[in-house]
Structure 1
Amino acid sequence: MTASTETADAKEINLDDFETKHRSGTWLNRFVFTLSIFLALAHIYINTIATLPELWVSAFHFAGFGAMCALLVPAHPKWRDSKLALFVDGAVVLALVGMVLYIIFFEDALYARGVTFNVADWIVASVGVLLSLELIRRTSGWFIPFLIVVALTYVVLWGKWLGGMFNFPGLTVETLLYRSFFSTDGMFGSISRISWSFVFMFILFGAFLVKSGAGDFIINLSRSLASKMIGGPGFVAVLGSGLMGSVSGSSVANTVSTGVITIPLMRKAGFPARFAAGVEAAASTGGQLMPPVMGAGAFIMASYTQVSYVTIIGVAAIPALLYFLSVGFFVRVEAKRSRVIATESDNDINISEVLKEGWHHIVPLGVLVTLLIQGFTPTYAAGISILAVIGASFLSKKHRMGPADVLDAMAQGAKNMSTTAVLLVGIGLVVNVISTTGVGNTFSLLITDWAGGSLFFTIILVAVASLILGMGLPVTAAYIVLATLSAPALFNLIAESQLLDMMASGNLPETASAIFMLVDPSVIPALAQGMPMEQAEALLAQVPNDFKNMLMDQALGAQTVAMILVTAHMIIFWLSQDSNVTPPVCLTAFAAAAIAKTPPMLTGMTAWKLAKGLYIIPLLMAYTPLIGGDTDTLMRLTFFGVFGLYATVAAMEGYLEDTLSFVPRLAALAAGVLMLWPNLDIWWQLAGLGLFIGLFMMGRKSYQKTL
């Protein structure tokens, strides 16, 4: 069982028995194994003790993992194990080493010349960018290098030829190379810093957990908890993938590692093969939404929003729970319809025995959560938690981690990180272009214009854009690009929506009302009493853009504004996951289909249906305080959200304990809408709940008659 993050979402390096092979194979294999351990130790040192310039660390990070990618993935499949491959890969490694040494020893000379390039600067910067393109091509295919080339040439070449909003007068090639390579804005900017700090430490933590046997414990715990439920094997997939995803953060690796167990279990119990594969794909996709790792998304989101990592994973928990419940409802419906029963092997697993043998695996997770809550940095918490994994393993008789196991875990963690590091460094080039040219603001304005100022249609446009980007980009990279482009537009629309509700209800604070004195002093009394929504919209449209941010801060408060920003990013992050389960490119579904031996595209369609929570729950985030609401509000939203999602699933499937005819099916849809519709009076929600319970009891009574 392997734990990998973004490596699996790109083109995962496929080496069987990595640790053993590279510890005892050829000199090249032993060198790669040694390099991986060195990189792991170096990054631990950098993240815990060292105080080095970020540019140096980022360059070392890229060079080290770039060298691993060069040695593990040949430039061309036909070149594997050939002398030509060894020569090319050796040249790449030497170029990477030379790049790092040049930055360390000659960076000051560049600034002494007033950032004017000499010949060596031109060569090193150009080769550095080209190496990034080549390494990403090897590990992730052609799409991302093509995107980077388009972005870079836009700055220096064809941007000046465009008319209208996207016209850019251009920069010199020298300026572009400086910003891309020598500054902390491009390859070695904030995305790279997140990669070598938060992402690496948590990937390493996941590798140690898996090496200690936590993967088997998670699967056995899931089977013991869910086996007695209706459709138990399906719930094992949902629960196991959620728990595994909480530490691995990769949907494809999650599918492969848990699916080899859960998909045969589901098929043996009586689930259709395609449905079993779809459940595993949808559940594994949810692993990227489950705290604390969230496929590196939580760390990037914290950096973008300047909201603490602990807050990010805290507000992400309830939406993630709702998502897994929505997949679980599909499982229950199909289990009832297909008359699925638990298998004998499931009933043999006793939860007390599982906990007795593997309770120590909970200790490192407890240490991690405790340190995060106490305010320690995520990197420090991950480092201490790695030590906790080693210490806790000695509480077990089967998986005590000796020196060889520790080295293997470090090697596996570095291997899992290699393509992720190269990818995130390369994506920094695109982010730099977006921030340099102002394309992000332009794109946000364009989205707002196309959507006509509608929050709903803006979310639809973001979903379509995420699906298109996801065909070529891993989900984290797609989130980074989309967040840079569209988060401002989404943030403004959500904030304005809440502001309009306050204006219409007469709850606008006096300090905020005073800003409208600049527009029309006569409306102040109306603002205090409330006004029709149309009038509020027209009034807000008259406020100059320079004053809108001030108005939002005064009306909503800094805490609410921060949570709205997190909401915008969380919506984009959720929507960026849909490419995992949406044809034509749905890697998670394809991986599950390979295990279940089902048609990949049809499996993708099934997974897409089962993952409908990816679209419904972001709408709840946008129109309700599901992110950052007070306790009472969150309890109400969660309670009605659970039953609303169940009713919606029943309406989609035409089944609730028994087959639903046309009218009851419409009634189930109405019940779901009443419970999920934002800002609806609680009596309407209770009416929807009552309708759902009535349909449920009628279905159960009808089902029992058929037994």
Structure 2
Amino acid sequence: MTDVVRAEERPLIDVGEAGDPPGVRQLARGPLGYSFFVLAIIVSIFHVIANALGTPIERGLVALGNDVPALAPVLIPTGHWFGDLATLSTLTLCAAHFAGFALLCALRYPLKHCETAQGARIVLVIDIAIGLAIALSCAGLVMSENAIYARGVRLLPQEWVMAAIVVLGAIELTRRTTGLIIPVLIVIAVTYPTMWGSQIPGVFRFAGLSVETVTFRSIFSDEGMFGTIAQISATYVFMFILFGAFLVRSGAGDFIVDLARAAAGRFTGGPGFVAVLSSCLTGTISGSAIANTVSTGVITIPLMKRSGFPARFAAGVEAASSTGGQLMPPIMGAGAFVMASYTQIAYLDIVAVALLPAIVYFASVAFFVRVEAKRNGIVGGTEGENVWTVLKRGGPSFLIPIVVLIGLLIYGFTPTYAAGFAILAVIVASWITPGRMGVRAVLEALVLGASNMITTAVLLIAVGLIVNVIAMTGIGNTFSLMISDWAGGNVLVAIVLIALASLVLGMGLPVTAAYIVLATLSAPALQQLILSNAMPTSAIDADIIAQMVAGHLDAAVQPFFLLADPSSLMALSAPMSHEQAVELYAKLPPEVLDQIYATARGTLDPAVITGALLSAHMVIFWLSQDSNVTPPVCLTAFAAAAIAKSPPMSTGLVAWKLSKGLYLMPVMFAFTPFLTGTPLEMGLLFVVALIAVWGLGAAIEGYFEAPIPWYGRIGLFAGGVALLYPGEWLLNVAAAAVVIGLLALNAVASRRTA
């Protein structure tokens, strides 16, 4: 049993988000707290009905009304009302989503922190007014949509006011929840097409658009505030965050830590393994690395410190493991939902291929834990429950809902529908365990889900302002071309450039926002580079020359020859010698060759093109996590350091070292079929990746079972790098043999000296 407050012992109102900064308004008591409580329940219920349960409720009520005619006048209209909620337009759903969370955010995050009671009351009145103004403006803009289109996209004065309130409100609420960086970026982005884009030289010069056009598109376009990203927030992200909140309130969070302690606590370095395993499991239900760190770290970090791990190492393990929670299906910190929308690849396919890389990441962190434990002589614990006892007590509350969720997804239901019924499964499953969920617990879970969603909802809606400008001005295409040019066709260089951009963006943007911006800017370029790697220009050249020799040049390629040399028509219509084909092909200018290469790659198997798209997005998604653990701004590491009472910056450095998998796995995504291959290929690459991260980890630490001499470290490092070299199975096998052999020799040597 863990020495923490159990779910059933928590207070009725507990709306604080894990990791809340100082100055957040405390709402646990009084009329304000109960107002927030009721509003959060309404917001959560609205989303559940709109996303999952509206249609089933409608069918049930209508059927009951038909069976009981006396109740039909009440049941049937009520059923249709639920059905209407389930079929809201994207604009209406997203506007309602922002309206609800704007009110919650205004109550939860004050305009400013006041020391005096009178000042706090004045700020509260202002906050309520701001929240109501945003909510009413959202409603007004939805009702004005058709009239605005009828006028040829011309805004009336009152619509200008409502649009200004919504845009400025999103910027202000983002400032309250995430700081100044994102608001500054939004202001720069929004003013780029209207004010200063036409004043700058070079490739980023933009002719300009009217303020009215930019304002309209910022709100009503598919890329704007109430567009695709807001829809992802209002559907997939919210439903899975709420699902996680129900799991936590049912006691699943306690079960996860208990299970980790029972499963891993007895091994060498057991408390460290508990941190890794509990963060891994918590990642399946948590949408935030910081929340993961705070919720599990309060248990695992003191446990590691008591067993002998240094404070900064204990905090680094928790930060690195919690960051990995964002890579763990099914939630993946909202990334899987954004990726599914951007790529049009099924959500279930994304989370399925994300599992093995996530396991490799956690295995790499666990390896560092074991090495540190061996170096410091830290042994496992001897007391505690066994796994079966823990599973019997709390397993149903966690496992049954997960099985329901995965089963519905496999059966073909949408993620939101599956999440809605998985929430119902949480309630039902809780009655098999001691932590039964009654009405009070269900209400608390609804509040917890809405509260945990505030920052994410506001952020994703505000980021739509940036994405809209990127799409509207074409700056994303310009940036992609720049990456391709700088990389010089080298995928590895492109990955390094994206990693650097991710690190810079991560200093001011949360992980999800950094991924969205980077994916919008660089995913097309990276996809093309990966395709170039799959079909190099030399292969295209050889294929086209062979077609010319045979006299059957692909019809899609012929126009490029005629464009470069109209007189070549006669020559291309008949077979020719290899020398003639090479001579004719050599006359094509570079710009025509580039078009031929693009055309040839466009004829690839659609599965190959989709695989390259998935690999590009997964590379960017993994690299976008590095800001959690990379100094100077590594909030997850800082949160862990606060619990461990260790120096924040040195803790960040430890967390960065432990998280090296964030940089190794993207290389494998880009160069190997780890995400897109057959089950056999993916399984073999999984083993290769494990050996590689262990070999590199031992080389970095200079320790396995015993100290490793310098020449052994060089061999391990070389073997680990060689394992990452794509497509060379003989080299990979030889490298694996070197790594395994050196580690085995070290283990034998340690036993001889013991």
Out of 44, 50, 53, the position equivalent to 1:46 is 50
- The offset of 1:440, in angstroms, is 0.3
Aligned to 1:125: 163
Out of 351, 369, 378, the position equivalent to 2:406 is 369
- The offset of 1:684, in angstroms, is 2.4
> Residues 356 and 540 from structure 1, CA distance in 2 versus in 1: closer, same or farther, beyond 3 angstroms?
farther
SS in 1 for 2:536: helix
- The offset of 1:451, in angstroms, is 2.0
The whole-number CA distance in structure 2 between the counterparts of 1:538 and 1:412 is: 67
Aligned to 2:188: 150
Out of 564, 567, 577, the position equivalent to 2:615 is 567
The whole-number CA distance in structure 1 between the counterparts of 2:15 and 2:621 is: 16
TM-score (ref. length: structure 2): 0.87
Alignment of 1:436 onto 2:469: no
The whole-number CA distance in structure 1 between the counterparts of 2:17 and 2:665 is: 27
The whole-number CA distance in structure 1 between the counterparts of 2:15 and 2:747 is: 42
**Counterparts in 2 of 1:244-263, with a 5 A limit?**
244-263=282-301
Aligned to 2:459: 423
Out of 611, 627, 634, the position equivalent to 2:682 is 634
Alignment of 1:102 onto 2:140: yes
> Residues 58 and 321 from structure 1, CA distance in 2 versus in 1: closer, same or farther, beyond 3 angstroms?
same
**Counterparts in 2 of 1:663-678, with a 5 A limit?**
663-678=711-726
**Counterparts in 2 of 1:546-625, with a 5 A limit?**
547-555=596-604, 557-625=605-673
Aligned to 2:727: 679
> Residues 368 and 450 from structure 1, CA distance in 2 versus in 1: closer, same or farther, beyond 3 angstroms?
same
The whole-number CA distance in structure 2 between the counterparts of 1:544 and 1:7 is: 55
Aligned to 1:340: 378
Aligned to 2:302: 264
8 Å CA contact 1:7, 1:13 repeated in 2? no
- Post-superposition Cα deviations, 1:216-267, rounded to whole Å, max 9, x if no partner, equal 1111111111123221111111111011011102111111111111112212
The whole-number CA distance in structure 1 between the counterparts of 2:377 and 2:503 is: 35
SS in 1 for 2:203: helix
SS in 2 for 1:78: coil
CA-atom RMSD in angstroms: 3.0
The whole-number CA distance in structure 2 between the counterparts of 1:447 and 1:283 is: 31
> Residues 329 and 515 from structure 1, CA distance in 2 versus in 1: closer, same or farther, beyond 3 angstroms?
farther
Aligned to 1:350: 386
> Residues 405 and 665 from structure 1, CA distance in 2 versus in 1: closer, same or farther, beyond 3 angstroms?
same
**Counterparts in 2 of 1:37-116, with a 5 A limit?**
37-48=41-52, 49=54, 50-78=86-114, 82-116=120-154
SS in 2 for 1:289: coil
If asked which structure has higher relative contact order (CA below 8 Å, sep 6+), I would say 1
The whole-number CA distance in structure 1 between the counterparts of 2:600 and 2:177 is: 47
Alignment of 1:140 onto 2:175: no
TM-score (ref. length: structure 1): 0.92
Out of 23, 30, 33, the position equivalent to 2:37 is 33
Alignment of 1:402 onto 2:438: yes
Out of 493, 496, 505, the position equivalent to 1:457 is 493
Return 196-205 or 500-509, whichever deviates more: 500-509
User: Larger C-alpha radius of gyration, 1 or 2?
Assistant: 2
Out of 472, 487, 498, the position equivalent to 2:508 is 472
- Post-superposition Cα deviations, 1:361-387, rounded to whole Å, max 9, x if no partner, equal 200000001111111100000000000
Matching residue's letter, 1:33: F
Aligned to 1:492: 528
- Post-superposition Cα deviations, 1:563-593, rounded to whole Å, max 9, x if no partner, equal 1101101100100000000000000100111
The whole-number CA distance in structure 1 between the counterparts of 2:20 and 2:506 is: 11
Gaps of at least 5 residues in structure 2 are: 55-85, 562-567
Q: Once the two structures are aligned, what percentage of the paired residues are identical?
A: 49
The whole-number CA distance in structure 1 between the counterparts of 2:384 and 2:587 is: 66
Q: Which runs of 4+ in 1 moved over 4 A?
A: 1-16, 504-528, 536-549
Matching residue's letter, 1:488: P
Matching residue's letter, 1:280: E
SS in 2 for 1:248: coil
The whole-number CA distance in structure 1 between the counterparts of 2:543 and 2:421 is: 47
Return 95-104 or 441-450, whichever deviates more: 95-104
Matching residue's letter, 1:477: A
8 Å CA contact 2:537, 2:597 repeated in 1? no
The whole-number CA distance in structure 2 between the counterparts of 1:657 and 1:13 is: 48
The whole-number CA distance in structure 2 between the counterparts of 1:571 and 1:628 is: 13
8 Å CA contact 2:260, 2:274 repeated in 1? yes
Matching residue's letter, 1:87: V
- The offset of 1:692, in angstroms, is 2.1
**Counterparts in 2 of 1:265-344, with a 5 A limit?**
265-344=303-382
Aligned to 2:74: none
Return 48-57 or 364-373, whichever deviates more: 48-57
Aligned to 2:519: 483
Matching residue's letter, 2:32: L
- The offset of 1:693, in angstroms, is 2.5
- Post-superposition Cα deviations, 1:527-570, rounded to whole Å, max 9, x if no partner, equal 99xxx9xxx99999665555545422423x00111111011011
The whole-number CA distance in structure 2 between the counterparts of 1:525 and 1:602 is: 69
What is the total number of aligned residue pairs between the two structures? 691
8 Å CA contact 2:502, 2:514 repeated in 1? yes
The whole-number CA distance in structure 2 between the counterparts of 1:94 and 1:609 is: 46
The whole-number CA distance in structure 1 between the counterparts of 2:656 and 2:513 is: 21
The whole-number CA distance in structure 1 between the counterparts of 2:587 and 2:371 is: 47
